[in-house]
Amino acid sequence: MTTSSLLTDHYELTMLSAALRDGTADRRCVFEVFARRLPTGRRYGVVAGTGRLPSLIADFRFSEEDVAFLTERGVVDRATARWLAGYRFSGDIDGYAEGELFFPGSPILTVSGTFAECVALETLVLSVLNHDSAIAAAAARMVTAARGRSVIEMGSRRTHEEAAVAAARAAYLAGFAFTSNLEAGRRYGIPTTGTAAHAFTLLHDSEQAAFASQVAALGKQTTLLVDTYDIAQGIRNAIAVAGSDLRAVRIDSGDLSVLASESRALLDSLGATDTQIIVSGDLDEYAIAALAAEPVDAYGAGTAVVVGSGAPTAGLVYKLVEVDGRPVVKRSEHKATVGGRKTAVRRHKPTGTATEEVVVSLGAPAPEPHDRLLQRAFLRDGVPVPDLPTLHDSREHLRQCLISIPWEGLKLSAGDPAVPVTMLGGSA
Amino acid sequence: MTTSSLLTDHYELTMLSAALRDGTADRRCVFEVFARRLPTGRRYGVVAGTGRLPSLIADFRFSEEDVAFLTERGVVDRATARWLAGYRFSGDIDGYAEGELFFPGSPILTVSGTFAECVALETLVLSVLNHDSAIAAAAARMVTAARGRSVIEMGSRRTHEEAAVAAARAAYLAGFAFTSNLEAGRRYGIPTTGTAAHAFTLLHDSEQAAFASQVAALGKQTTLLVDTYDIAQGIRNAIAVAGSDLRAVRIDSGDLSVLASESRALLDSLGATDTQIIVSGDLDEYAIAALAAEPVDAYGAGTAVVVGSGAPTAGLVYKLVEVDGRPVVKRSEHKATVGGRKTAVRRHKPTGTATEEVVVSLGAPAPEPHDRLLQRAFLRDGVPVPDLPTLHDSREHLRQCLISIPWEGLKLSAGDPAVPVTMLGGSA
């Protein structure tokens, strides 16, 4: 997909027009991305999307066609049009690594440059981070609930066609094993999987014929979907066709906890003791957790993961916090914010358990043993820094971060943020 | 954006491989898109996305690069790869017009052709319809709640960057007056609007300086955001700078019902009796309804609309209902479905109020006066039919449909579907 500079809110360009005209466009600014709160009851957020952002920002340009549209529609005047035609972000971006946890107030991204070049990025930055972080947080809870069993992302059909690709990426980042989305496989190298839907069985003259065809095409290392008609008969048909070395059966409907036990017993009685059971069908983190004691080998998660399981957006905002070195902050009620560029560390016990996140405005926290600095460089002078983490690096980073938080932080029930944030200094 | 044939689930291509090998790939099939239920408590669904689909499907092709990826990854064998390289949907698509209402069981899209050509479209069709229909339904409720006042879509920052463009389209379809999303303006001709964020005020040395700059750049027919510091002072500054013929002020935080009244009184006392009040900040349909008695002129809706206000996906499924003229249906528990191609009409009282939707499998309802046939052609032999409705047509169609349902159907509270669906005949 090509980046479009018009994935932007109208007001960014009207602000830009006015600022170019009054001379404030070149003031040095710092914008910060943070969440005022986590979704209700959530104990952590997961930073996701920072792996997609650097190239999107480096490629953010207004084409001749873009500028012509904006001028014809009267969105910008001629001077602004000329400025946009030469747009190239030349500032710096720092932030939390992808896969890092965040809490209310964590300064997860810091964008520095002129007002003009930074303000134009608000929508793109927030769209990417709000979407991907919401999916990753929901997916991480499902992975925790699955207790080491594989989880497969199969939700593409329930979300926007391009959001589906980003959702597959965010779920993989969070520890999912596979996605059904082929474009996510191509674009990000994520392992893809899939075998058959009920339609394939219905297409054939009998369930046995469908199974025989699938095994002929894909071999016995496939998964047969056994719940189109009667599940017990479906399992018998599957083993009759494929033999006891069939890799897996999938059940997509019904009371999965009862069906998993019954199916395991039936498979075992047929000698198919190594044939795995994959369950799917409206699974969210709670449904997955409820199946922990059942003989399930893998979970397919669809709708719940791609819509963030009750929290479809991460609530991240992009706020101006510094102008020409002076901290600034909105003062009206209910939206208390600390101005100034922040430095953030996470403190840990000697055992490695995180105890606190300390965020300091216009300075840095006094170092303590077991501190971990949370911010890193993403772009310098508009150019992505070398050796940014890969998706696999970020996946491992999240895994380590989730090990480091207090155990209560992994509970699915509603609770406070797993790690408290202490905000120090610098209020404007 | 270019269509990608890889916006597809892996299992569609494994089914295709197996069907090509066993000779069932050319069986004539009918797939149907419908919802088993509406989101909890919702009284109607809104069909959206059918305006985007015809060209996406007509352009759905597997490029050389796509096919190479699928072959290298072992997703498909060589015979399937050759077949995909020549893929072009050559079947028919019929369905409910965009902007039409739907209820549980409404056959909103019917895809007919060979199994092979139809199965490959499942993910694309569902992604587009599930996303756009979810947004349109939430947006329609907000438009109803706004009782004739304008609603502006400004949620791009809270959803995936490309989903934001489709969301702006769906909200406009549902009656929103404007969007903030510039790409939606370019791609779909939707009116865009926007003026300034808090950052613009913070950038300047004073609120007055910011307002003066904005008015100098955009004129007095602009909206000044007055809640960066103190709202009453912000309004005084706005009128001092722009005069009493300022078009509007915007308030984005605080108790909007109190603030709207106070702001109206203050504006009036300053002689700015025609200056409008626009409110925004976490508005959903309930918050909009709660402001009905307040002196508000327009609403800005962000997060709630782009995430479907509690129902981020429409729950639509794509099911095989007919093979070579024979109705087929999945038989396992909890997912009762009627097989066979359906014909749907909505029945009305002589006054025009809808009373019932009648859906008949393998036949057509006996005609009654005031029936309206709900399905129309979208593609014939893979080609979009001429004169498909424009977005403006669809917007007007939805407006008429909402007038036609019983008044209870427009209530925001949880309730049954506004129009009952009677399903007749043809169960396999």
Residue A76: count other Cβ atoms within 10 Å of its Cβ.
Answer: 23
Q: CB within 8 A of B39, min separation 6: which ones?
A: B137, B308, B310, B311, B314, B315
Per CB-CB distance under 8 Å, the chain A contacts of B230 are 331-332
Mutation target to probe the B interface, by most B beta carbons within 10 A, among A57, A77, A157 is A157
Chain A's closest residue to B308, CA to CA, is A312
Are A26 and A59 in a shared domain? Answer: yes
Distance CA(B351)–CA(A340), nearest Å, equals 63
Distance CA(B300)–CA(B151), nearest Å, equals 6
Q: Does the beta-carbon distance from A183 to B157 stay under 8 Å? A: no
Q: Does the beta-carbon distance from A6 to B230 stay under 8 Å? A: no
Q: Does the beta-carbon distance from A162 to B158 stay under 8 Å? A: no
Instruction: Find the DSSP H helices in B120-255.
Output: 122-146, 161-173, 182-188, 198-203, 207-218, 231-242
Any CB–CB contact under 8 A between A162 and chain B?
A: yes
Q: Which of B296, B327, B345 is the last residue of a domain?
A: B296
Q: Give A206: exposed, middle or buried? Use CB within 10 Å, 0-12, 13-18, 19+.
A: exposed
Q: Does the beta-carbon distance from A157 to B332 stay under 8 Å? A: no
Are B261 and B328 in a shared domain? Answer: no
Any CB–CB contact under 8 A between A37 and chain B?
A: no
Q: How many helices (H) and strands (E) does chain B have?
A: 15, 19
Q: How far is CA B18 from CA B6, B22, B244, in A?
A: 19, 6, 72
Q: How far is CA B146 from CA B12, B269, B299, B415, in A?
A: 43, 26, 8, 20
Are A161 and A283 in a shared domain? Answer: yes
Are B351 and B410 in a shared domain? Answer: yes
What is the per-residue pLDDT for B332? 65
Q: Does the beta-carbon distance from A163 to B165 stay under 8 Å? A: no
Any CB–CB contact under 8 A between B68 and chain A?
A: no
Residue carrying structure tokens 């922040």: A342
Any CB–CB contact under 8 A between A332 and chain B?
A: yes
Strand, coil or helix: B236: helix
For residue B172, being part of any structural domain is answered with: no
CATH number of the domain encompassing residue A122: 3.20.140.10
Are A377 and A272 in a shared domain? Answer: no
| Residue A92 distance to chain B (closest CA, Å) | 18
| Residue A351 distance to chain B (closest CA, Å) | 38
For residue B209, being part of any structural domain is answered with: yes
Distance CA(B135)–CA(B153), nearest Å, equals 11
Q: In what order do the strands lie in the sheet with B28-35?
A: B326-327, B316-323, B28-35, B109-114, B92-96, B375-380, B383-384
For residue B181, being part of any structural domain is answered with: no
Q: Contact at 8 Å (CB) between B49 and B57?
A: no
What is the per-residue pLDDT for B1? 42
Q: Does the beta-carbon distance from B182 to A333 stay under 8 Å? A: no
Per CB-CB distance under 8 Å, the chain A contacts of B183 are 4, 6-8
Any CB–CB contact under 8 A between A310 and chain B?
A: no
Q: Does the beta-carbon distance from B123 to A164 stay under 8 Å? A: yes
Residues 207-226 of B with CB under 8 A from A: 209, 212-214, 216-218
10-residue mean pLDDT profile of chain A (428 residues): values are 81 97 98 97 98 96 96 96 98 98 98 98 98 98 98 98 98 98 97 96 98 97 96 98 98 95 98 98 97 98 98 98 95 71 98 97 94 98 97 98 97 97 74
Are A195 and A322 in a shared domain? Answer: no
* Domain containing residue B126: 10-135+311-424
Q: Which of B296, B324, B359 is the last residue of a domain?
A: B296
| Residue B21 distance to chain A (closest CA, Å) | 7
Per CB-CB distance under 8 Å, the chain A contacts of B130 are 157-159
For residue B304, being part of any structural domain is answered with: no
Closest by Cα among A1, A126, A68, A13 to B180:
A13
Per CB-CB distance under 8 Å, the chain B contacts of A35 are none
Q: Does the beta-carbon distance from B127 to A14 stay under 8 Å? A: no
Half-sphere exposure of A173 (CA within 13 A, CB side): 35
Any CB–CB contact under 8 A between A188 and chain B?
A: no
Closest by Cα among A196, A282, A269, A194 to A232:
A269
Q: How far is CA B16 from the centre of its chain?
A: 30
Q: What is the 3-state secondary structure (H, E, C) of A154-184?
A: CCHHHCCHHHHHHHHHHHHHCCCCEECEHHH
Q: How many domains does chain B have?
A: 2
Are A302 and A323 in a shared domain? Answer: no
Q: Does the beta-carbon distance from A160 to B161 stay under 8 Å? A: no
Residue A6: count other Cβ atoms within 10 Å of its Cβ.
Answer: 24
Are A192 and A120 in a shared domain? Answer: no
| Residue B303 distance to chain A (closest CA, Å) | 8
Residue carrying structure tokens 């971006």: A93
Using CB atoms, pick whichever of A17, A209, A319 lies closest to residue B217: A17
| Residue B12 distance to chain A (closest CA, Å) | 7
Using CB atoms, pick whichever of A202, A318, A323 lies closest to residue B323: A202
What is the per-residue pLDDT for B425? 79
Distance CA(B106)–CA(B421), nearest Å, equals 7
Residue carrying structure tokens 């009493």: B244
For residue A4, being part of any structural domain is answered with: no
Distance CA(B288)–CA(A145), nearest Å, equals 38
Per CB-CB distance under 8 Å, the chain A contacts of B308 are 312
Using CB atoms, pick whichever of A126, A128, A331 lies closest to residue B229: A331
Q: How far is CA B302 from CA A320, B147, B281, in A?
A: 20, 18, 7
Q: Does the beta-carbon distance from A333 to B131 stay under 8 Å? A: no
Closest by Cα among A346, A427, A398 to A106:
A346
| Residue B369 distance to chain A (closest CA, Å) | 37
Q: Does the beta-carbon distance from A18 to B217 stay under 8 Å? A: yes
Distance CA(B103)–CA(B125), nearest Å, equals 18
Q: How far is CA A52 from CA A98, A139, A158, A398, in A?
A: 10, 18, 22, 16
CATH number of the domain encompassing residue B280: 3.20.20.70
Q: Contact at 8 Å (CB) between B83 and B420?
A: no
Any CB–CB contact under 8 A between A280 and chain B?
A: no
Taking the model in full, what pTM does it have? 0.97
Q: How far is CA A377 from the centre of its chain?
A: 20
| Residue A371 distance to chain B (closest CA, Å) | 32
Any CB–CB contact under 8 A between B159 and chain A?
A: yes
Q: Does the beta-carbon distance from B253 to A333 stay under 8 Å? A: yes
Strand, coil or helix: A124: helix
DSSP A9: B
Using CB atoms, pick whichever of A12, A115, A158 lies closest to residue B203: A115
| Lookup: tokens for B358 | 């009648």
Per CB-CB distance under 8 Å, the chain B contacts of A308 are 312
Q: Which of B296, B321, B348 is the last residue of a domain?
A: B296
For residue B144, being part of any structural domain is answered with: no
pLDDT-flagged residues of chain B (< 70): 1-3, 332-336, 426-428
Query: What is this model's ipTM?
Result: 0.97
Q: Could you tell me how many CB contacts below 8 A there are between chain A and chain B?
A: 334
What is the per-residue pLDDT for B331? 81
Q: Does the beta-carbon distance from A203 to B27 stay under 8 Å? A: yes
Q: Does the beta-carbon distance from B196 to A18 stay under 8 Å? A: yes
Are A33 and A121 in a shared domain? Answer: yes
Any CB–CB contact under 8 A between A309 and chain B?
A: no
pLDDT tens digits, one per residue of B52-75: 999 999 999 999 999 999 999 999
Any CB–CB contact under 8 A between B130 and chain A?
A: yes
What is the per-residue pLDDT for A426? 52
Using CB atoms, pick whichever of A127, A227, A332 lies closest to residue B253: A332
Are A127 and A162 in a shared domain? Answer: no
Are A276 and A405 in a shared domain? Answer: no
Q: Does the beta-carbon distance from B127 to A213 stay under 8 Å? A: no
| Residue A215 distance to chain B (closest CA, Å) | 8
Q: Contact at 8 Å (CB) between B44 and B405?
A: yes
Any CB–CB contact under 8 A between B70 and chain A?
A: yes
For residue B165, being part of any structural domain is answered with: no
For residue A140, being part of any structural domain is answered with: no
How many Å is the Cα radius of gyration of chain B? 25
Q: Does the beta-carbon distance from A199 to B119 stay under 8 Å? A: yes
Any CB–CB contact under 8 A between B311 and chain A?
A: no
Chain A's closest residue to B4, CA to CA, is A183
Are A118 and A213 in a shared domain? Answer: no
What is the per-residue pLDDT for A4? 80
